[in-house]
Amino acid sequence: MTAERKPSITLKLASPRGFCAGVDRAIQIVELALAKYGAPVYVRHEIVHNRFVVESLEAKGAVFVDELAEVPEGRPVVFSAHGVPKSVPDEAERRRMFYLDATCPLVSKVHREAERLHEIGRRIVLIGHAGHPEVVGTMGQLPEGAVMLVERVEDVARLDLDSAAPLAYITQTTLSVDETADIVAALKVRFPAIEGPRKEDICYATTNRQAAVKSFAGEVDAILVIGAPNSSNSLRLVEVAERAGCKRAFLVQRASGIDWAALEGARAVGLTAGASAPEVLVDEVIAAFRDRFDVRLEMLETVREDIRFKLPRALEA
């Protein structure tokens, strides 16, 4: 008796995908701090938006807290990759805490840009998602009221601003490139003199991962994005896939979350991972497909990434 033959399927694997340099640096900071100072090392908020990563670090001795008040005296604390309001390091300094800042350098760049614009007298419009830690951190670099948040094109018409006022816009680093371009266009129509950032705020990793998804969105029956439901860049990848013509685009945290019924009839599936999702979860999903299908794997590389960010001096030795 012969085993039943598995149906064939093609998995198109996006490259680049998964960890970006900022996420890799943030995780290294926690791991190196544990190695140098011993457990526990405290981390304010999720270091990156991925439960697998957070739980892996917890198993090594990291303790995640919401506020600095939860950190015992004498223990190191790490600030997450998303960045924090200025009030957080100010509080740490007042309490003479030893802290390591894992803010992505590209988020820090947006912070510096916001400060520069404020210093030269610009009112600032921030394109981003309300409540996201990066947005909270960016708005917290300046006095209350200095930054106005815009989430969608329709919000531009509701801005209570003089069109002749000196204005500038900045953006969250993990937005949809296309959707953000639409919002910027609307801002420029309403406020022709509005100033933009010197260099694009949406980070290279977000841009590259979205471009990779677009490259195969029209060639597959479905797309799976591995990432967390609170991960902005992962959610944007799903939206980008849908806008690029793939009607079956799904966010999954790991293989156990795949809705196989929703993939019924699919012969080609695109696979990518958000910037905070580790490669081990990609391997896990591929293995799950191989359990059910005769898999043909295609790697589709759109650009090669080789960016690395320096670690804090305290951890370099």
For each of the chain's 317 residues, which pLDDT tens digit applies? 455 789 999 999 999 999 999 999 999 999 999 999 999 999 999 999 999 999 999 999 999 999 999 999 999 999 999 999 999 999 999 999 999 999 999 999 999 999 999 999 999 999 999 999 999 999 999 999 999 999 999 999 999 988 788 999 999 999 999 999 999 999 999 999 999 998 889 999 999 999 999 999 999 999 999 999 999 999 999 999 999 999 999 999 999 999 999 999 999 999 999 999 999 999 999 999 999 999 999 999 999 999 999 999 999 76
Same domain, yes or no, for 186 and 115? yes
Q: What is the pLDDT of residue 194?
A: 96
Same domain, yes or no, for 174 and 214? no
The answer as to whether 197 is a domain residue is no
Q: Which of 162, 190, 218 is the last residue of a domain?
A: 190
Active site residue: 113, 134, 151, 301, which one?
A: 134
Whether the bond into 16 is cis, omega within 30 of 0: yes
Same domain, yes or no, for 71 and 34? yes
The answer as to whether 81 is a domain residue is yes
Same domain, yes or no, for 291 and 229? yes
Same domain, yes or no, for 80 and 44? yes
Provide DSSP, 45-94. Answer: S-SSS-HHHHHHHHHHTEEEESSGGGSPTT--EEE-TT---THHHHHHHH
**Spatial CB neighbours of 49, under 8 Å, sequence gap ≥ 6:** 82, 227, 228, 230, 231, 232, 234, 276
User: What does the alpha-carbon distance between residue 242 and residue 224 come to, in Å, rounded to a whole number?
Assistant: 11
Q: What is the pLDDT of residue 316?
A: 79
Same domain, yes or no, for 25 and 91? yes
Number of domains the chain is built from: 3
Q: What is the pLDDT of residue 17?
A: 97
**Ordered alpha helix ranges (H), the chain:** 21-37, 51-60, 87-94, 105-119, 133-139, 153-157, 177-190, 204-217, 232-243, 279-292, 313-316
Q: Is the distance from CB of 59 to CB of 41 less than 8 angstroms?
A: no
The answer as to whether 199 is a domain residue is no
Same domain, yes or no, for 36 and 120? no
The answer as to whether 219 is a domain residue is yes
CATH number at residue 14: 3.40.1010.20
Q: Which residue has the tokens 């690029």?
A: 244
Q: Which two tokens stand for residue 307?
A: 């960016």
Q: What is the pLDDT of residue 2?
A: 52
The answer as to whether 46 is a domain residue is yes
Same domain, yes or no, for 38 and 96? yes
The answer as to whether 73 is a domain residue is yes
User: Residue 73's domain spans which residues?
Assistant: 21-104
Query: Does residue 134 have an active-site annotation?
Result: yes
The answer as to whether 178 is a domain residue is yes
Q: Which residue has the tokens 């309300």?
A: 130
CATH number at residue 43: 3.40.50.11270
Q: Which of 190, 214, 230 is the last residue of a domain?
A: 190
Same domain, yes or no, for 253 and 289? yes
User: What does the alpha-carbon distance between residue 157 and residue 150 come to, in Å, rounded to a whole number?
Assistant: 10
Whether the bond into 229 is cis, omega within 30 of 0: no
Same domain, yes or no, for 213 and 248? yes
The answer as to whether 310 is a domain residue is no
The closest alpha carbon to 213, from 270, 170, 149, belongs to 270
